[in-house]
Structure 1
Amino acid sequence: MPVRRAAAQLLRFAWLELQSCAFAAALFAGLALAQVVPLPIARFDALLAWCVLVTLGFWVAGLETWREVLVIAGFHGLGLGLELFKVHQGSWSYPVGDAVTVVAGVPLFSGFMYAAVGSYICQAWRRFDLRVSHYPAPATTVVAVGVYANFFTHHWWVDLRVPLAVAGLLVLRRCWVHFTVGDARYRMPLALSFVLIGTFLWVAENAATFLGAWQYPGQEDVWEAVHADKLGAWALLVTMSFVLVATVKSQEGRLYHVPGPVPVQSPAGQPVG
């Protein structure tokens, strides 16, 4: 039955997504436990140690290759640089307490929240057998660099978030991401996947601020939901994240889609392959 088939595929998709979020799940588990379990060291120091152990554990268990670990380390470095600047600007703050692994009010653990995004993309690439078609790597890289720069420059110059989003849509207008669920191959516009992941990250951000990972100016006294305008920022951040992972996948020969001999249906009913 088509309905039963669709339901089974949806469950398979959800299960693969959950597995791909393993690093993020471990990070949130650490945040939650650190809220209720007495610790011998400061909370953010314990979280840093926990994330390092999770990263090493993923590598030892073969869940991530050494190249992917290097990409995730790159995410950590880029994220930490952004955190140092944003906290200095007063965009948000960390309740660091007496933690010692802190630089300029930013716990070193914070970079792992960006690393979790990189880990998700790496895991999803493997579990869904992701490939892209019509992917303009140079142009997308230029947009990604612009996105990262704008996170800094908009504080003293014009905010180019909307023009960068439009540029990203134009650059990726013909690009599709192909993925496998069960025995079927599907595809969707790559730009749409960035929006969907960005939405998920916004939900995760709400959970993280609720658990006290960091605080926006309006959340110091009473927690409140993160404004929906952060959705766009997260979707743009995913663009930058994807470019870094795609660079590694290109070196591994696992970036571009090769049409198969038998066309299958996309979620929208369009033939693929």
Structure 2
Amino acid sequence: MKPIIQLLHFGYHQAMSCIFPVAIFGTLALSSVIEVPFIHRYDAILLILLGVQYLMYRSGLETRDEIKVICIFHLIGLLLELFKVRMGSWSYPEAGYTKLLGVPLYSGFMYASVASFMCQIWRRLRMDMTGWPGFTTSALLGGAIYFNFFTHHFIPDFRWWLTAIVFIVFWKTWIIYRVRTVTYRMPLSLAFVIVGFFIWLAENIATFLDAWKYPDQHQTWQLVSFSKISSWFLLVIISVIIVAQLKYVKASRTTNDSWSS
């Protein structure tokens, strides 16, 4: 009976951590079948998601620090979207007043939802890590991964080299998480793969709902390439590095403040 209770508690915290991603997909689904009057679909999605974020903050579902992380990821994602759309990797074919160089501003929230999930699940499961490689190593690796999303259009793609380096750098890194009074742990690299796979599934749903389209999906929808799992795997690493580093900075400040008082 105890394993079932543990699983139910774990599932509850996972579900609560997915509120913002679910809100995104719910908005995409409804707006694809219900025409919003007096406003373009992309503009309506942006307004709704801004409203969801405001309500989550006001209700205490997200903290001020978590909102800051979401804003950082919204900007990171938007910059990547601007570049990728310009390079023809995918497109947003519908009209909208809140589009910048062909990219609707709501698109950054799809990246921010990954950060929202990471922040929420970190807090709810009281997560920690052992064997963290340190700020310099993780920051350099995260930066290299992010810039490879841009540079592979001009020079060879180092995705698989970076993936191998990830497994080497985080070989000894484990996630510690707690469900009620029981503590569990998991290799961080395995967590990267699992989350990346589920984001790929979500990406298939998003493209089916016309959130964006890849070049081979303009005539008819088809499954997103399995190679995209590696892209999301690497993007998840960036989110974990940023969230983990900010958590460690905050923890260090709290410790210093307690010592100084």
Into which bin does the TM-score normalised by the smaller protein fall?
A: over 0.9
Aligned with 1:31 (options 28, 36, 45): 28
Alpha carbons 2:35, 2:41 under 8 Å: kept:
no
Aligned partner of 2:53 in structure 1 is: 55
| Structure 1 residue 111 displacement after superposition | 0.3
Choose between structure 1 and 2: higher helix proportion. Answer: 2
What is the alpha-carbon distance in structure 2 between the residues aligned to residue 200 and residue 14 of structure 1? 15
Displacement of 1:246: 1.2
The percent identity for this pair of structures is: 44
CA apart distance, 1:75: 0.4
**Which residue does 2:104 correspond to in 1?**
107
3-state SS in 2 of match to 1:48? helix
Residue identity in the other structure for 1:17: Q
Q: State how far apart, in whole Å, the 1-side matches of 2:53 and 2:249 are.
A: 22
RMSD over aligned Cα atoms:
1.4
Query: CA–CA distance in 1 between the matches of 2:49 and 2:245?
Result: 24
- How much has 1:178 moved relative to structure 2? 0.4
Of 85, 88, 111, the residue aligned with 1:87 is: 85
Provide the rounded CA distance (Å) in 2 between the counterparts of 1:230 and 1:222.
19
Alignment correspondent of 1:154: 152
- Whether the 8 Å CA contact 2:77–2:107 is kept in 1: the answer is yes
Code of the aligned partner of 2:28: L
Q: Which structure 1 residue ranges, 4+ long, deviate > 6 Å from structure 2?
A: none
Alignment deviations for residues 102-147 of structure 1 (CA, whole Å, 9 cap, x no partner): 0111100100000000000000011111101110132121111000
| Paired position in structure 2 for 1:268 | none
Equivalent AA in structure 2 for residue 224 of structure 1: Q
Once the two structures are TM-superposed, the CA of residue 247 in structure 1 deviates from its matched residue by: 2.1
Partner of 2:18: 21
What CA distance in whole angstroms lies between the structure 1 residues aligned with 2:183 and 2:50?
35
Alpha-carbon distance in 2 for matches of 1:246, 1:48: 28
Matching residue's letter, 2:79: G
For 2:93 and 2:10, the matched residues in 1 are separated by 37
Q: Which residue of 1 aligns with 2:256?
A: none
Tell me, in whole angstroms, the C-alpha distance in 2 between the residues paired with 1:169 and 1:142.
Answer: 15
Query: Any unmatched runs of 5+ in structure 1?
Result: 255-273
Q: Per-residue CA shift, 1:152-176, capped at 9, x if unaligned? A: 0000101010111111111111111
1:118 is matched with: 115
CA distance in structure 1 between the aligned counterparts of 2:128 and 2:8, rounded to whole angstroms: 22
* Range that drifts further, 144-153 or 54-63: 54-63
Q: How many corresponding residue pairs?
A: 251
| 1:173 has 2:177 as partner | no
8 Å CA contact 1:86–1:92 kept in 2: the answer is yes
Aligned pairs (5 A) from 1:186-201: 186-201=184-199
Secondary structure at the aligned position of 2:224 is classed as coil
CA contact (8 A) 2:128 2:177 kept: yes
Deviations 1:12-54 (A, max 9, x none): 2222111111100111111111112221210000001111111
Instruction: Please point out which of 109, 130, 135 is paired with 1:133.
Output: 130
Question: For structure 2, which runs of at least 5 residues remain unmatched after alignment?
Answer: 253-261
Query: Does the residue aligned with 1:13 lie in a helix, a strand or coil?
Result: helix
Distance 1:58 1:246 in 2: 22
Counterpart among 241, 244, 247 of residue 243 in structure 1: 241
TM-score (norm 1): 0.89
Q: Is the 8 A contact 1:198 1:234 kept in 2?
A: yes
TM-score (norm 2): 0.93
